[in-house]
Amino acid sequence: MSESELPEVPPETKDWTWVLHERCPQCSLEAGVLTLAEIPAVIRAQVQVWPVLLLRGDVRDRPEPQVWSPLEYAAHTRDVLRLFTDRLALILTEDEPTFGDWDPNEAALAGRYHELDPETVGGEILASAEALAAAVEAVPPESAGRRGLRSDGAPFTVTTLLQYLVHDLVHHLWDVSDDQVGAEPAASDGGDPLPEALQDTRPRAEVLQEAGAAEPALDGGTSGDEAPSPGVVAEQSEVSAGSPEVAAAQEPAPGAAGSASAEAPEAEVPEPPIQAFANRHRRVLGLLVAVICAVLAVAYVTVVPPTVTGTGVRAFLVRWTVPACWALIAGVALTWALSLRRQIINGLAYAAVACWVVYLVARLV
C-alpha cells in the first residue's frame, strides 16, 4: 500500500506538558525527575532497541487504520531527535526564542515514512540520538535554565525541553510494544507496561556504563544498584513506578562523553504562579493590554486638553510624549503576545521609559 492510500492519522491535539510534573500513566515515565546530567545517557540507551524492533516482519503494518506502524513511529522518532537538536541550538544562541510549529503528520506524508527502508531508519535514529546526546553534554551548567517558548507561549528551559524529549522517546516505544498496541491507557499501578522481552533488569549503573556515561551521584545516599532499569534499557529511577526520586546529579564536563563534573548544578527555581499564569495566557493578556494602551494614547491626543500651552519645544514634548509612551507600551504588549524576539520587546520598553523621562523633565523645567 502506497503512502497516498493510507488512512490519515488524526492530528495530536493534547497538550503533553503535564508529563513534566506527573508520571505518565501509559508509559510510566516520570520525566520531571531527570537531571540534565542523566539525559545524554538516557537518550543513547533508549534508542538502542529501534534497530531490533525494525527487524519485525510486521514493521510496515498499522495495528489500526489510523494508528502509525512501527516503521512510521521509528521515522517520527528520528525526526523528533533532529528537531530537538535544532531547538536546543536555538535556545542556547537566542534569548527566549519561539519554536516554530512542526506538524508530525505533515512530516510523515512529506517524508513518505511508510516507504522508508527500516534498516536505514534504524541507523539514522542511532546517529541522530548520538548527535543530540553530544549536544546536551556540551551544555554549560549555567545555561540549563535558558528559556524558549512554544508557539502557544508554553515556556521550556533547556532541562525541561530535554525531559519532554525523553518522554517522547519512551512513549513511542510504548506505542509500538506488542503488549500495548491498541490497548487502553493503563493506571499507574507500579507495573512496567513494556513486554518482558524488552525489559532490562540490570543495575542502573551497569546500564549507564554501557551507554557511555558515568553513574551520576545521587543525594540522600541512594545506591545505583538499588534502582533496576526497566523497559527498553531506560532507567528505573525515571520509568517504573515506586522508584526513588533523583534529587541532584553531577553535571558532565561540556563536550566530554563519559565524564561528570564534581560540582552539582543548581536546582531550577519554579516559575512564580503569576508569571506562569501570564505565560499560559500571554496572547489574550497581551492583546488586551495593547488595546487598552492604544485607546489611552488616542484619548490623550483627542480628548485630554493640553496641560501646557504655547508652541515651544516644552509644550510639544509635554503634549506628545505621554501618548507616545502609551503607544510604545501597547507595542510592548503586542510583541509580547506574539512571542517576538526579546530584543524587540526590550527596545520598545526602553523607548517607552525614555518618553516618560522626557515628559517628566519637560514638566519640571
Instruction: Write out pLDDT tens, residues 113-139.
Output: 999 999 999 999 999 999 999 999 999
Question: What spatial distance separates the first Cα and last Cα of the chain, rounded to whole Å?
Answer: 81
Residue 191 placed within a domain: yes
Cα(262)–Cα(346) distance, integer angstroms: 37
Q: In this structure, are 183 and 320 located in the same domain?
A: no
Task: Indicate whether this model's pTM tops 0.95.
Answer: no
Q: Which of 180, 205, 239 is the last residue of a domain?
A: 239
Cα(198)–Cα(15) distance, integer angstroms: 28
Residue 266 placed within a domain: no
Instruction: Report the domain count for the chain.
Output: 2
Residue 199 placed within a domain: yes
Cell output for 97: 526564542
Residue 267 placed within a domain: no
The pLDDT assigned to 253 comes to 38
Any idea which of 42-51, 177-186, 207-216, 290-299 has the lowest mean pLDDT? 207-216
Residue 317 placed within a domain: yes
The stretch 328-339 carries a mean pLDDT of 86
Using the predicted structure, report yes or no on whether residue 267 has a pLDDT greater than 50.
no
Using the predicted structure, report yes or no on whether residue 276 has a pLDDT greater than 80.
no
Residue 265 placed within a domain: no
Do residues 76 and 176 lie in contact, with contact meaning Cβ atoms separated by under 8 Å? no
Cell output for 293: 494602551
The pLDDT assigned to 9 comes to 66
Cell output for 281: 495566557
Residue 269 placed within a domain: no
Q: In this structure, are 117 and 231 located in the same domain?
A: yes
For the chain, what percent of residues have pLDDT higher than 90? 36
Using the predicted structure, report yes or no on whether residue 296 has a pLDDT greater than 70.
yes
Residues in CB range of 195: below 8 A, 6 or more apart: 177, 178, 179
Taken as a whole, the chain contains a residue count of 365
CATH code, domain with 61: 1.20.120.450
Q: Distances in Å between the alpha carbon of 124 and those of 62, 71, 79, 213?
A: 22, 12, 9, 21
What domain range includes position 338? 281-364
Q: In this structure, are 222 and 288 located in the same domain?
A: no
Q: In this structure, are 73 and 189 located in the same domain?
A: yes
Q: What is the DSSP letter of 272?
A: P
Q: In this structure, are 114 and 202 located in the same domain?
A: yes
3-state class (DSSP) for residue 155: strand
